[in-house]
Amino acid sequence: MKTLFKKLFNTYRINFLLLFLLSCSTYSSEELISPNISLHQEIINNNQIVYLKISNPDLVSFEIGFADKGNFNKRKPVEKILEENNATAGINLSFFGYDYNKFKEGDVRGYCIVNGELMKSRSIWDLWMDTLLIYTANKNIQFYKLEKTPGIKLEVNGTIISDDLSINISLWGNKKDYVLFFNEYGSSYISSEFNKLFILKGNSKLFINANNSFKVENITNNQQNFSFPLLCSVKDNILDNVKSGDLINIETDFSDVIKNSLFSVSVGSIILMGGKYLEIQKEFDINENKSFVGILKTGEILIGCTLMKHSDLAKTLIDLNVSDSVLLDGGGSSCLNVKGKNIFGGNRDVVTALLIEDKND
């Protein structure tokens, strides 16, 4: 009798394990694209997840996760990514595609690493609602609470878009700037139309015009440095000597990319992104999103890129020629800011988590 029960138990255990393994339907692979870039692909419960791992012993290493767009449950948990990579710092972008009402109630299931400790926090997605996470030059992630500032207006073509902007103090280099965000619409409202980065110095009011220019006018408060990060950047130092009433033309860094067909690129192609020539190393598809990975022709800087078929702009550009300041601004577009300069913007349907590990520490 004892032997019979033992056989039945063992049979049940084996069957249970087989069913469990079949239900998981897990597959993973890794492909080395270059000495410093590897592409990780996983299929978990029939959901494809792709990770691009970029590393350079002299600089930094981090990983970008891609998953099925618009479905939070299909994304790899950010805490798992942090654990697997032994990351010293993580910025969570895991809210995307999640229920908006639950997000407003505080249920975003987000995690980040702060000083090596796993913490639950709100997502970086809608910065105008809650908290901004910044990976600063001193290798610490800092949290800043956004506060609405009545009387700060943003006007586009004579129409006031908002008269109650949110302002947040952040660190760009060694000085403090004020970062402006929409309090209700999200930065996508303007980025989809203008795609500009504006850094306004001095006590001024910002007017955005349809002819790719903006007018600076004086305002009556003591705020000092205004910036509104979007997809493209203005010419270096163009605003250093800006005065009230000046009309400033905006030059986009990405005009060559926008004018050319982004979706005709192939392995070996050379394209211009952000004023830098990028050689395509690898192409892959995530559902309907055509993506590619590239490296600068000089080999000195590694870049990973992703294209979305529903957009005319490349959504993600990662520049590894840095080891100090990284700022991701959420809202409609997640911008990567390095050494105080906007590099490019990422789409919230694409980037799941950005992990940063300083090799010099």
* Domain count along the chain: 1
Check pLDDT > 60 for residue 267: no
pLDDT at 84: 53
Check pLDDT > 60 for residue 131: no
pLDDT winner (highest mean) among 118-127, 158-167, 313-322:
158-167
Q: Is 287 domain-assigned?
A: yes
- Residue type (1 letter), 326: V
Mean pLDDT, the chain, integer: 38
Q: Dihedral sign, CA of 350, 86, 110, 181?
A: negative
pLDDT at 124: 33
**Residue listed under structure tokens 């605003």:** 239
Q: Is 6 domain-assigned?
A: no
- pLDDT, average across residues 205-226: 38
Does this model's pTM top 0.75? My answer is no
Q: How far apart are CA 300 and CA 355, in angstroms?
A: 21
Q: Is 71 domain-assigned?
A: yes
Q: How confident is the model at residue 27 (pLDDT cuts 50, 70, 90)?
A: low
Q: Is 14 domain-assigned?
A: no
Buried b or exposed e, range 111-136, using 16+ CB within 10 angstroms: bbbbeeeeeebbbbbbbbbbbbbbbb
pLDDT tens track for 58-110: 333 333 343 333 333 334 444 454 455 444 333 333 322 233 333 334 333 33
Q: Is 20 domain-assigned?
A: no
Question: N- to C-terminal Cα distance for the chain?
Answer: 63
Q: How far apart are CA 5 and CA 202, in angstroms?
A: 81
Q: What are phi and psi of 303, to 5 degrees?
A: -135, 135
Q: Residue 219 has which token pair?
A: 């305002």
User: Which range marks the domain in which residue 152 is found?
Assistant: 26-358
pLDDT tens track for 339-352: 333 333 333 322 22
Check pLDDT > 50 for residue 197: no
Q: Is 19 domain-assigned?
A: no
pLDDT at 179: 30
- pLDDT, average across residues 331-358: 31
- Residue type (1 letter), 345: G
- Comparison of pLDDT for 39 and 197, the residue scoring more: 39
pLDDT at 287: 41
Q: What is the DSSP string of 247-288?
A: EEE---TTHHHHHS-GGG--TT-EEEETTEEEEEEEEEEETT
pLDDT at 279: 54
Q: Is 230 domain-assigned?
A: yes
- How would you class 4 by CB atoms within 10 Å of its CB: exposed for 0-12, middle for 13-18, buried for 19 or more? exposed
Q: Is 11 domain-assigned?
A: no
- Please give the DSSP secondary-structure letter assigned to residue 231: S
pLDDT at 41: 62
